[in-house]
Structure 1
Amino acid sequence: KNKLLTHQERLIIETGIRNGSSKKAIADTLGKEKSTIGKEIKLHRINSYKCKLPLECSNYAKCKHGRFCSTSCPDYIPFSCSRRDRSPGACNGCSKFSSCRFDKFFYKPDLTHKEYCSSLINTRIGINVTVNEIKQLGSILLPLLKQGQSIYQILASHPELSYSEKTLYTYIEDGVFKNVGIDISVFDLRRKVSRKIPKKKAITYKKREDRRFLKGRLYSDYKALMLEHPDFNVVQMDTVYNDVSNGPFIQTFKFIKYGFMFAILHDKKDAQNMLEGVNLLESIITPELFNTKVQVLLTDRGSEFTAADAMEIREDNARRTSVYYCDPLQSCQKGSLENNHIGLCYICPSGTNLHKLGLLDQEDLNTVISHINSSPKEKLNGKSPIEYLEFLNPVLMKKFYDFGMTKIDKDKVTLKPYLLLK
């Protein structure tokens, strides 16, 4: 009831004024006091049309004196509008708006709330103390700090100083005393070096991330591309790992058209390794197939996928694919690949040491991926991704067979960790 008005509440006030509601009716709708609504409208209404007459006279239309208005005129009657001057207090929605020649006041909720937010911020800018008070405070602090006393000791011996220890530290660190000519700096503080940098200041030292690789490659750009070219072949890409420090790291690729997943094992998770993974995939399926079957690479914004230009362009400057990035924290935008990771976790459970589990090289990973791709899928009408790809594109499937993948008999498909036991 006693909280400040929100933007939504100001919109309701404007609607009430437009409908000719009384201040009390608006206040009852919002659960506020009538005086609150009255003050809000009176303080924030804007005089958007100035009366062109010298005085607002009710008899201006029947004036017999050539409209030389003066308060001494015998026919002068001050104009009064119950809607404008009493309730609701503004001219929004008035039926006489076009014919009225007097001052018109409007209540604009968007502008009012913007001004309110600005004033709220401004009240928190700067320090709540005058220059003379800072000089007086500095004259007390300076000699005592030079004697080696701490802020706490000074405040303990000077109870007349109505400041907290934290406030005085902030004044000194922000150079408030130096601004008025008093030579007090952080080097006068006994524990200056050991004091932790405040969060608001520490963030200013944070290295800015280079996000130029995202330009023209946002998820909205991807959606626009697919709207224009719905037949483009999309491959979703990601990285899977259980130990971010020691790995191993599994770079996964999902050929959406075929429901087929491929994976490459890495010892490191960085942009160079992920680029090498893309290059390896191209060498496995040949550049000709890569051009037509990996027309779009959709991945997340992980730091390991920042080499977008190198993934898109070959060394001979020929384009081989287009890279796009999902929105932050929106893994659902490449949900098809995320669902395949569930099957991967059946064999390589989260939190386990994959090296100790038996995942030591690419051959072991080929075995894992072969079992996953040999599992029947409901979306493929009971066919496995390997069978589906083999039927639709036997040439592409042969490339993966040549790399070491195999088709597993459905009764022998194993999705348990013991698959990697040797």
Structure 2
Amino acid sequence: MYGSLTRRDEQLRKHLTLSDRKSIEKCLSQGVSFAEIGRRLEVAPCSVSREVRRHLVQWEKGGWGRCMNDCVHRKSCFQYDLCGASPACSKKCSICPRCNSVCPEFEAEECSRLLKPPYVCNGCRERRGCTLKKRLYQARNAEDEYTRVLHEARRGFNLCSEELKAIDEFFSKGILQGQSVSHIIASQRNRAPCSESTARRLIHAGAIAVRNLDMIRVCKMKPRRGEKRGVKVDTKCREGRTYEDFQEFRFRHPDAAVVEVDSVIGKRGGKVLLTMMLRNCNFMLAFLRNGNTAASVEYWFSWLFSQLGEVLYRRMFQVLLADNGMEFSDPRALEFDPEDERRSWVFYCHPGAPYQKRKVENNHGLLRRVCPKGTSFDGLTQKDVDLMMSHVNSYGREIFNGVSPAQLFVSMYGTAALRLIGQRIIPPEEITLRPSLIFRN
């Protein structure tokens, strides 16, 4: 039936509804094929296939009365007390929920049925007794994820990094010389890369180098009501980089070094900090930026790549986990070096889920002891920020039995790497986590 649809019908069926997704979930649980589901919904089978693969959910639960165990040796394993939890433990390790995390011979098994349609376990008859990781299609989860991506794609300005750079070069020089946006466009109308209203919105959003403070008349105007619009460089940046994709990548590469990245805001419209937390040693880096833009984030990652060198950078920054802020919306600039060779993988947390990168969020508490909320960063330099982070990273952690992140960092990457990023180890008796460390007024 879907082959007889008119062009207008196809356009109307471009997006599936919640009712369609519930029908897909019900049909999958009944073992209905993609072709039959497509006929019932009047869409192409490939659309159903893409919908299921795009929104499937990893389900780490075992079978009925049995814990999850996806080791290939689970049926022939006779190991006992691998974790050493109790000398009197008589439980076989293969039926213990800690087995996969402590066994040195663990080798993951993936169900071969998930490699072919329908790619999910919804209609599998052996699902109740299966102890492997499962994949499910859930209509409500698929609808929520679809809505979230749709809203994010429609926010901000749909401009690529090259277009933003061209607009920046065209307007910034004249504005810094005291010229107005309208004067710049009127004098070079044939070369203007955008309209006057677009240029003003970009300046107001902090997308280019100049700000409202650089325009005298704008400073005197009363600000309009309404939410400040951010600039998303790539509106589809989250596709293939969701938190589920991150978990799957971590499952395939458990030893990959993960770095959680975030932004710390001072006063609105002022300078911003970019923070990076190395999960393997709780070591945090911070860099000062004039605005909360994607270009400023790209600059500091490029600086680190040039400072540390290709080999060391790839060891430290294999995986980047960020939130959905506009400043992280240009993943390709972070994933590839100037020679277009991959150097990192970028993934995004769910919106409103800071706990998914809890280490960097928790460590901001130490940073806020020096820079309380509402403090302006405009009077700081990068040297001040490096000093602050040296004190923060030299502070001993209870989780490491009093050893500091800076000491762990040196043991993993060497003293030279610490010096290259502008930090040093502070003696314990000299550590200061008060505003007086960098604010001298």
TM-score (norm 2): 0.46
Larger-Rg structure: 1
TM-score (norm 1): 0.48
